[in-house]
Amino acid sequence: MGQTSGHQERSEKPEVAPSKVMEAEIEVQNKKEETKEVKAKNQKLISVFGLADLKNEAIGLYNLGQSCCLNSLLQVFLMNIHFTRILRRITVPPSPAQRRSNVPYQMLLLLEKMQSGKCKAVGPTELACCLSEHRVELFVQHDAAQLFLTLWNLLKKQMKKPELVKELRDLYTICIQEHVACQKCSFEVKSKSTMLTLPLPVLDANSHRLKTLEDCLQYFFHPEELTGQNMCFCQQCGRKTPFLQSMKLVHLPQTLTLHLKRFCFERSSRTHKLSHSLPFPQELDLRQVLAESQCQADDNEKATWHYELFAVVAHSGSASCGHYCAYIRSLTDCKWYCFNDSEVCQVSWDDVKCTYGRSNLYWRETAYLLFYMKKHPQQPWPGLSGCL
């Protein structure tokens, strides 16, 4: 009995001890692999936008009741990698009440919800409630250009880190120089200002249709004579005189936003939608579009004015009743997607071109906001540090 028992003890030790060692080694190895996997995943999340890029699926947003305009703009913001890199570095508000009313924080939560979920669409309910606290009405039709400005101002106001506010300005703001010159003497006033979008007319002063986006840009920067009732007071002449008003482009941001002024007021005070065809290019080089007299920038600045179309916010329907959707080109797979609230699908460039517009078909999708992104981004321009 004793020999048998002793033999059993000696035989168990070589079997049990290596098993524990092996389990410990496997556990350590698994932890190392998990750590590497988590680090790799986090690094990928920092550099690309969420589930849409990680799983080749685009995540939609449920319509909460006429929230198509908000949904389209949110998709444009959150699919912009340069914007999400800023958003990820915001300061988290300390109290629950502050977090509920903080637009950047609620937008970040929505981004994380879109990235971590397995659903085809998520609801932006918390963000919509947050916006309502800032007088952004729910369940009403919004104008995309106005709502874009409202969202941007709230983001800028509530980002507490000055360096992030500056990055946000550098990412979106356009710098121009305004010139007003008396036609009777040499008196001239110059002033610099910034804009979030370039509001481009689609008709000229004689109500003639402008044929291309390039025509709209050239017309926007074309000098305008201020005569008759529009004359200005000249300090040098001491009376009202004809003036020449013009704008010159000084600096363009990494993401350039163009607002096609498709809605106009008629004499009856009713808003009318202009749906005629207006082609826009996939690539836009402002150096080839604007004349030398329409620019106030050096060669280094102009060298960065080569853009590629990133997104289109399109409107269908009439001025009083309509629907918004967004066409966005993924920055990772370079494919176009249509974001129509909760429905998202891959589309072609020919599908995007359908938003050029067509006369007398007001219900068709018509491009309203165009977002272009620099092909060769440069360092943030120091001249914007004091703007806006």
Q: pLDDT tens digits, residue range 161-193?
A: 999 999 999 999 999 999 888 888 878 888 999
Q: What confidence score (pLDDT) does residue 29 get?
A: 60
Domains of the chain listed by start with CATH number:
49-173 (3.90.70.10)
The residue from 68, 130, 182, 325 that is catalytic is: 68
User: Exposed e or buried b for every residue in 65-95, given b needs 16+ CB within 10 A?
Assistant: eebbbbbbbbbbbbbbbbbbebbeebeebee
| pTM for this entry | 0.81
Ranges of residues in the chain with a pLDDT under 70 are 1-57, 266-269, 360-363, 377-388
Element (H, E) at 196: none
The residue from 251, 259, 315, 323 that is catalytic is: 323
Q: What confidence score (pLDDT) does residue 105 get?
A: 98
Q: Is 259 an active-site residue?
A: no
Q: What confidence score (pLDDT) does residue 185 get?
A: 86
Q: What confidence score (pLDDT) does residue 42 get?
A: 41
Q: What confidence score (pLDDT) does residue 288 get?
A: 95
> Quick one: angle between helices 103-116 and 125-132, nearest 10?
170
Q: What confidence score (pLDDT) does residue 187 get?
A: 86
Q: Is 68 an active-site residue?
A: yes
Q: What confidence score (pLDDT) does residue 28 get?
A: 54
